Structure 1
Amino acid sequence: MTTAAVIGGAGQVLTDDEVTAFIGDQLAGAGLDGRSVCVIVPDATRSCPLPLLLQAVHQALDGRVSKLTILVALGTHAEMTASQLKEHLGGDYPNVLNHEWWKPETFADLGTISPDRVGEISDERLRDEVPVRLNRAVVEHDVALVVGPVFPHEVVGFSGGNKYFFPGVAGQEVIDLSHWLGALITSSSIIGTPGTTPVRALIDEAASMIPADKLALSVVAQSGTDSLHAIAFGDTISSWQAAAEISAQTHVRYLDHPVQRVVSVMPPRYADIWTAAKGFYKVEPIVADGGEVILYAPHVTQLAAMHPEIEEIGYHCRDYFIGQWERFRDLHWGVLAHSTHLRGAGSWDPATGEHLRVQVTLATGIPEDVVRRANLGYLNPAAVDLAVYEDDPDTLVVPNAGEILHRLK
């Protein structure tokens, strides 16, 4: 592993010219002439100035590489339409692919990770053989270039780097295993954890099986803007590490005391609760026992567009599933993980049921009966007056929620 090249840092804001020049210089010296390059980028649920970044990448590589493909890392999110892609990417580029995770022919088989190795990586929390499948576009290019932001993340610690492969453009098996491993550790324990967490180690193990050379432009975005604090370029591990260190200084807000209530105001980039749940993950650590998190998102009308199973099982703490594992083990573990991540800390007893630390309330466009059936609280979004909450000393209102992690000092 090499040391990443870095421009910017915490407290700095880069100009567009600085961004473009840095990307041009780094890619010029990366030995890419005549090689085929697959550029892996985030979908619209991640914020960064992607049009600026892609324009700089295209300018640096067009005509120099033998083939240039852009692959959108959907994970298991909804497909982006042609018009959405044009806006998201900042123009019409040739060879743009959605990660079509719903089609078996999308994937190439890279091998398996053995139960012993999974046990070693996971501190024996899991012992399963896991097939490693990846979008074949990555495998069919000489170089895989990840371009995307790094933020505190509920499953892996900090997002970015090899996470753009797994789960970004991966098969369901690694997605399920990695997310369930994160759920076993718990979101509040792993989110914003620096360095290599067990989930990150699992992702890196899978990524080591990719035959393409793996490079990354890992960016640290100024949340809520189209600006960047920093960019790191190098292999997918060193560049991610450099960006994660800056993200830890930039994307974490520390409070002196727990709060009784948080209102997370969710921006439109989160189209369902599957993605808008980040408004809970990022504030769970600061909510007092018995407190409440309100996800205020009038634009959201469904729990999970791509994962209807969540309506059947609802939202529950980790121990609810572990205590009844035979009942739930055959469902997608990624869905179980999402369920526990949004419900937060709690316990389950076969006699007395579920005991949850924090109440989760949806103030969304989802019908009340759907919300309550999913084991969540309901609030009519039309009745929400943010000014009243802002004046309440027991309430913290978080605008543009979902990216900045809140922790207690």
Structure 2
Amino acid sequence: MDLVLAKGKEKLSLALEDGRIMAVLMPAVAQGDCDEEKEMRRSLEQPIGSPRLRELVAPGKTVAIVTSDITRPCPSRKMLPPVLDELAAGGVRKEDICIVFALGSHRKHTWEEMESLVGPDILREYRCIDSDADDCVEVGVTSRGTPVEIHRPVVEADIRVCLGNIEYHYFAGYSGGAKALFPGVSTPRSIQANHRMMVEDGAVTGKIEGNPVRADIEEVHGFLPIDFIFNVVLGPGKQILKAVAGHYVEAHRAGCAFLDSLYKFPLERPADIVVVSAGGYPKDINMYQAQKALDNARFAVREGGCIILVASCPEHYGSATFERWICNAVSPEKIIEDIARKFELGGHKAAAIALALRKARVFVVSDMDEDVARSLFFEPMDSIEGALQEAVAQCGEDARILVMPMGGSTLPVITA
């Protein structure tokens, strides 16, 4: 079988004998299955649990549209035009609209990156800004003690609209929904307080009910209403397959159910070797992002098996705190012990990687410097074929191989 795996903006080929492949976890979706424009406008015309957006606004009302930053695959450039049309139909002026990029704990954008996210026309005609942790307002404290601090322009807007794409999240269950607002446009203090619950039972990928992180996130609506969401589910080629709009919970759950129908894969047994790609740019812009694919692969590999991670990571670590945790670590096990004793945002990514290393040997095919890869306790390889040779040497010639070309979006579930 000839397979293609994305690394950054390039495609790597991998040939495997059919008899050696346990499974290839790819959604059965053909390119172009969905008319993207038609699907987006359909969802906006038929919102779930909410009136149409044009009916929620009025002339003179100010609107904050919160959308994803450059590290996310959310197609803001496609999603914004129909949303802006809805707002115009409701009488909202361009000068009363602010488009806010949800940075979370990520770096600020360059002008060129903003232009790539929304297009030159929208960037020129509308106010587009990065969220700013130094200009936030505390709007409340959740029942779990999380201070909710939100970017001031979003707080001061009359109407808040959240855009995003729905995919699996390794401790919030799923992305999308209220997550754009909180922790998307929040402060490190708030994010850390929310993310500290990642070590609690229920804080796992693909889980909503009983997930303390997701429940904490959605309490934000009680302090600062989310008036409307517009989320999409993407296909293997990052094309829009499904759009949901409306209520911040009801529409989001409909999107999650659709995602599960495509990307959740039951497996009778774990694999000996998992070959996983983060999905290419921008999901593998740095290890802070690519780690999500490694985490999903962890659910598919047996104890003592091997994971081959394909991720470009030209920006290497992607977070100064994450880098400090990795570079100061004496072992993966010590990272897990330290994060349990004292949680720190950024360190949580190091702990998640350590959990994968606790279960399996990890080879990486990337554009990182070798010393960076080794600092992560990975074994750097020049090619997937070379990594496979090493993995087979450990696991045996009859090793069962599982391939995950869209590792950040694909959730294997062992049913046995």
Shared fold per TM-score greater than 0.5: yes
- Paired with 2:320 and 2:374, the residues of 1 have a C-alpha distance of 20
Relative distance call for 1:208 and 1:381 in structure 2 (3 A) is: farther
RCO higher in structure (CA 8 A, sep ≥6):
2
- What does residue range 5-404 of structure 1 map to in structure 2 within 5 Å? 13-23=34-44, 27=52, 29-34=54-59, 35-62=61-88, 64-66=91-93, 67-93=96-122, 94-101=126-133, 104=134, 106-113=135-142, 117-118=143-144, 129-185=145-201, 190-195=204-209, 197-210=211-224, 212-228=225-241, 230-266=242-278, 267-269=280-282, 270-307=284-321, 308-314=323-329, 316=332, 319-321=336-338, 325=341, 329=342, 333-344=344-355, 356-374=358-376, 376-382=377-383, 384=385, 394-404=400-410
Deviations 1:190-209 (A, max 9, x none): 11114351111111223421
Q: Is the 8 A contact 1:152 1:158 kept in 2?
A: yes
Paired residues of 2:192 and 2:345 also in contact (CA < 8 A): yes
Cα distance, 1:31 vs structure 2: 2.2
Distance in 2 of aligned mates of 1:213 and 1:149: 16
TM-score (norm 1): 0.79
> What TM-score does the superposition give when structure 2 sets the normalisation length?
0.78
Distance 1:30 1:183, change over 3 A: farther
Single out whichever of 305-314 and 265-274 deviates more from structure 2.
Answer: 305-314
> Does the 8 Å contact 2:298/2:359 carry over to 1?
no
- AA matched with 1:251: Y
CA distance in 1, matches of 2:233, 2:298: 23
In structure 2, the CA distance between the partners of 1:167 and 1:207, relative to structure 1 (3 Å rule), is same
Distance 1:91 1:254, change over 3 A: farther
Which deviations, in whole Å up to 9, do the C-alpha atoms of 1:33-92 show, x marking residues without a partner?
A: 222111111123332433221111122223721411111112112222111121222333
In the alignment, the residues of structure 2 paired with residue 378 and residue 387 of structure 1 have an alpha-carbon distance, to the nearest angstrom, of 12
What is the aligned counterpart of 2:412 among 403, 406, 409?
A: 406
- Structure 2: runs of 5+ lacking an equivalent: 1-27
Q: What's the CA shift string for 1:222-249, capped at 9, x where partnerless?
A: 2333222x22222212211221122222
Structure 2 contact 101–130 (Cα < 8 Å) conserved: yes
Q: Which string of whole-angstrom CA distances, capped at 9 and with x for unpartnered residues, describes residues 234-289 of structure 1? A: 22122112211222222212323211122222302121100011111222111000
* Matched length: 364
Equivalent-residue separation in structure 1 for 2:356 and 2:255 (angstroms):
29
Q: Is the 1:232–1:242 Cα contact (8 Å) retained in structure 2?
A: yes
Report the CA distance shift for 1:96/1:143 in structure 2 as closer, same or farther (over 3 A).
same
Task: State the distance in 1 between where 2:56 and 2:298 align.
Answer: 44
| Equivalent residue letter for 2:194 | S
Aligned-CA RMSD value? 2.9
Query: What amino acid does structure 2 have at the position aligned with 1:77?
Result: H
Secondary structure at the aligned position of 1:39 is classed as strand
| Residue segments in structure 1 that go unaligned for 5+ positions in a row | 1-9, 119-128, 347-355
| AA at the equivalent of 2:92 | V
DSSP 3-state at the match of 2:55: coil
Range moving further from structure 2, 175-184 or 156-165: 175-184
Aligned to 2:20: none
Identify if the C-alpha distance between structure 1 residues 45 and 403 changes in structure 2 by more than 3 Å, giving closer, same or farther: farther
Give the C-alpha shift of residue 386 in structure 1.
8.1
Inter-CA distance 301–205: structure 2 relative to 1 (3 Å threshold): closer
Q: 1:369 to 1:157 in 2, by over 3 A?
A: same
